[in-house]
Amino acid sequence: MTTNGHLAAPPVPTSIIDNVPLNDAQRAAVVYDGGPQLVFAGAGSGKTRVLTAKIAWLIGHKRITPHNIFAATFTNKAAQEMKQRVRALTGSPCDSLWIGTFHSLCARILRREASRLGFLPSFTIYDADDQVSAMKKVIKEMEIDERAIPPRQALGAISKYKNACTPPEDLDPAAAPFFQREIIRIYREYARMLKRVQAMDFDDLLCNAVYLFRKNPPVLASYQDLFRYVLVDEYQDTNLAQFYLVKHLAGRSNAIFVVGDDDQSIYGWRGANIENILSFEKAFPGTHTFTLEQNYRSTQAVLRFANTVIAGNTRRAEKKLWTSRSGSARVRVTRYMDGRQEADCIGDDIRELVRGGMPAPLVCVLFRTNAQSRAFEEAFRRKQLPYVLIGAVGFYERKEIKDCLAYLRLIVNPLDDLSFERIANVPPRGLGDRAFKDLRTAARAAGCSLLQIILKGDFSMVADRARKGCADLRELFTEVNSWNAAGTAPHEVLSGMLTRTGYMDMLQGDDSEESEGRLENINELMNTLTIWSGANEGKALSDFLQEVSLETDVDRWQKRDDAVNLMTMHCAKGLEFKAVFLAGLEDGILPSRLNFDDEEKMAEERRLLYVGVTRAMDVLRCSYAEQRWRFGSVTPMSPSRFLHDVPPEVFDFEDRAAFHPAREPAHHTRRNAVAAGPSKSWRGQDDHPKYDAPDHFTQETVAFRIGQYITHKNYGRGRIVSLSGFGKDLQLTIVFNDGARRKLMAAFANLENS
């Protein structure tokens, strides 16, 4: 049964939401109380408002206490905003409400029940970088060649097992082909290593929660009694483990409310299963389905474009967005000669919008891959156009910040060998590879961690030159553990530790721009921890570390009053902007060349474009280039096949390639480029000759940026501190972890993102 925007809500008492502006379809979804609910919420249709009003209605009208509500969101920022809205609607504190990301809610459950799975409540949560480091150790100890099975490839294969909630002991390597057999072996050793150091990775937070409920029916029953209602946001992006979790928690009462949009399912590459939303009614019999189609975000021009884009996908819930908003700006599709011209012209267009009164933070440039950001960064720097890049090297991914966090982790979890090995010789303490090897041997013989061996005080297993370093570490952690036990504020513990270790002296003694930046970052971490301590009185250091581990790019995003935004379409999910520029809409980029032969992945690529389009409120400008630097050479490009599905009357076509400075006759003006409809070349006909790359081309396919961390085969991990040149002559200055500063040619360095 479907309820749409034209059916009236039933006349039931709803005083708690009387002041919430809801249309008929939204109101009907909020006050429905007859079993499982599925709400198909089109882009910009007020999904968050409905979900928030539903929680408020459950608390205020149904008299369900906040502690008995489980609400899963996809960002921590969304959870905090929803909690504030619910508090405002109900007029009562909602601090006990179980609302947050799936990962944070599962972490909360697992810390309460950790012993049932053989973990301590203080287990460490490993982020993506930690996982790679841990996997490298596992592969090395198993004497497997990293070139045969790269750590990231192994983690990707293991992630699929975890998303399906398949533990390593359920897999039979004997019946598997060679590569899969090796992955299963690695999976088993990786799981043993995580248990030994008392750590879980992101996937573990989900699958371990499912294992907890599978293996402990009384525990599951207690949580089913606790959660009288289960709500899930962005249900189209849940994976199999999240489905199992929801099914366990709501399986007995069927008191479940999920909201999502199958047309915005864009995370299949990381395990999201669109079948969860399309087959919801089968999993929860008696489901009542609602469809929200009235869009409050975009103009009709944007929605016409969006509807024609997504109509190319055949297997989807039927819906068509409409709006009562008026707006005169038509969607524009522009052809450029190359990526450099595209970035330059978009920068000029943005400057015009801002000068015309458009607030810079409400303008966004979206692209398919992070690699595409570089051309825009260079162009915007040249034009002195302030910008914020979302999804670049995160604050908590910087070396100095990870060092600080490793020190703090060891206070909370002394079994975390990975953190110990990161900081044991930072600053240098004379502990080399031989010392670490001797400490590992002693730790395994004693059945304890590396830090625990240090705290025992017997350093006879290491060479004389390493004993002073071991003694320093013992003295340090004995002292800081006493500070922590005495209730010293977390920021004071960190400050004392950095001073005590000489870490700050190490940076201050290096009179370089990079060290100055690192000091500023540490100061910012201190400020963050100080503010957090004041706002979370009574919470422990472990709570801060957990929040840091589970932050997303969007959670870390800080808008600047003077800056436009650059981000991938994946990062933009759930956001909206007055003006959106969709760049690089070409076959091979969107859709990705890797997905051409996979029908399901191509459908997801189309949904990704739809998500990008529906971020726009008033202005939408799409663009593609005739040629780009791809894989080290200039490559002819064709407009995205998805654009071919959009009727000419839905947009204005603009050909700026014909008037690029390299071609443009003196008498041409930009006005000549705008046409009422597409030219022949729009449909892919080669009516323009291909030109050699101009001298100012940049190598866009390799996304090197200042501050980026990379890995070199011989020199190891390092950070880019400066760039010079472009294209094949691009030169990188990199400071490696050994302290050496090296200049390398990007085209020949064979660097990997780290």
Band of residue 61 on the pLDDT scale cut at 50, 70, 90:
confident
Q: DSSP of 424-479, one letter per residue?
A: TTSS--S--HHHHHHHHHHHHHHTS-HHHHHHHT--TTS-HHHHHHHHHHHHHHHH
The per-residue pLDDT for 550 is 83
Whether the predicted pLDDT of 666 surpasses 50? no
Which residues on neighbouring strands pair with residue 745, listed in sequence order? Answer: 731
Band of residue 229 on the pLDDT scale cut at 50, 70, 90:
very high
- Which two tokens mark 386? 């302030």
What is the arithmetic mean of pLDDT over 493-511? 83
Listed range (268-272, 605-609, 662-666) with the worst mean pLDDT: 662-666
CA 377, distance to chain mean position in Å, is 21
What is the arithmetic mean of pLDDT over 233-246? 95
| Dist. CA 605–CA 351, nearest whole Å | 30
Whether the predicted pLDDT of 234 surpasses 80? yes
More confident residue, 172 or 193: 193
- Which two tokens mark 654? 């603009």
Q: DSSP of 378-418, one letter per residue?
A: HHHHHTT--EEETTSS-GGGSHHHHHHHHHHHHHH-TT-HH
Amino acid found at 304: R
Whether the predicted pLDDT of 419 surpasses 80? yes
Whether the predicted pLDDT of 88 surpasses 70? yes
What is the arithmetic mean of pLDDT over 279-305? 94
Please classify residue 527 by burial: count the beta carbons closer than 10 Å to its beta carbon, then call 0-12 exposed, 13-18 middle and 19+ buried: exposed
Percent of the chain predicted with pLDDT > 90: 51
Q: Bin 505: left if φ > 0, else alpha if -120 < ψ < 50, else beta.
A: alpha
* Pair type for strands 124-126 and 199-201: parallel
Per DSSP, helices labelled H in 336-372 are 339-355
- Indicate if 233 belongs to the active site: yes
Of 5, 575, 570, 614, nearest to 298 by C-alpha is 614
Residue of 14, 37, 198, 264 with catalytic role:
264
**Per-position b or e across 103-127, b if 16+ CB within 10 A of its CB:** bbbbbbbbbebbeebebeebbbbbb
Half-sphere exposure of 605 (CA within 13 A, CB side): 24
Of 395, 339, 377, nearest to 705 by C-alpha is 377
The per-residue pLDDT for 177 is 85
- Indicate if 664 belongs to the active site: no
> Cis (ω within 30 of 0) for the bond into 591?
yes
- Which two tokens mark 57? 């209605």
Residue of 26, 27, 37, 47 with catalytic role:
47
Whether the predicted pLDDT of 652 surpasses 50? yes
Percent of the chain predicted with pLDDT > 70: 88
CA 716, distance to chain mean position in Å, is 25
The per-residue pLDDT for 393 is 58
- Indicate if 372 belongs to the active site: no
- Torsion 716-722-724-726 (CA) sign: positive
360-409 pLDDT, tens digit each: 999 999 999 888 888 898 889 888 899 988 875 567 778 888 999 999 99
Residue of 297, 398, 615, 628 with catalytic role:
615
- Torsion 628-631-636-641 (CA) sign: negative
- Which two tokens mark 54? 């539903």
What average pLDDT does the structure give for the chain? 85
Residue of 130, 182, 233, 551 with catalytic role:
233
**Per-position b or e across 485-523, b if 16+ CB within 10 A of its CB:** eeebbbbebbbebbeebbbbeebeeeeeebbebbeebbe
| Dist. CA 641–CA 636, nearest whole Å | 15
Residue of 189, 234, 378, 586 with catalytic role:
234
The per-residue pLDDT for 506 is 85
Give the residue carrying structure tokens 């294992």: 211
Which residues on neighbouring strands pair with residue 619, listed in sequence order? Answer: 579
Band of residue 235 on the pLDDT scale cut at 50, 70, 90:
very high
Residue of 2, 24, 48, 728 with catalytic role:
48
More confident residue, 67 or 511: 67
Of 723, 707, 722, 709, nearest to 751 by C-alpha is 709
Q: Bin 631: left if φ > 0, else alpha if -120 < ψ < 50, else beta.
A: left
Please classify residue 455 by burial: count the beta carbons closer than 10 Å to its beta carbon, then call 0-12 exposed, 13-18 middle and 19+ buried: middle
Which of 94-108, 528-542, 687-701, 716-730 is modeled with the greatest confidence? 94-108
- Indicate if 160 belongs to the active site: no
Which residues on neighbouring strands pair with residue 665, listed in sequence order? Answer: none
The per-residue pLDDT for 622 is 97
| Dist. CA 288–CA 256, nearest whole Å | 11
Please classify residue 185 by burial: count the beta carbons closer than 10 Å to its beta carbon, then call 0-12 exposed, 13-18 middle and 19+ buried: middle
Whether the predicted pLDDT of 649 surpasses 70? yes
Of 409, 528, 554, nearest to 480 by C-alpha is 409
| Dist. CA 727–CA 746, nearest whole Å | 9
More confident residue, 618 or 487: 618
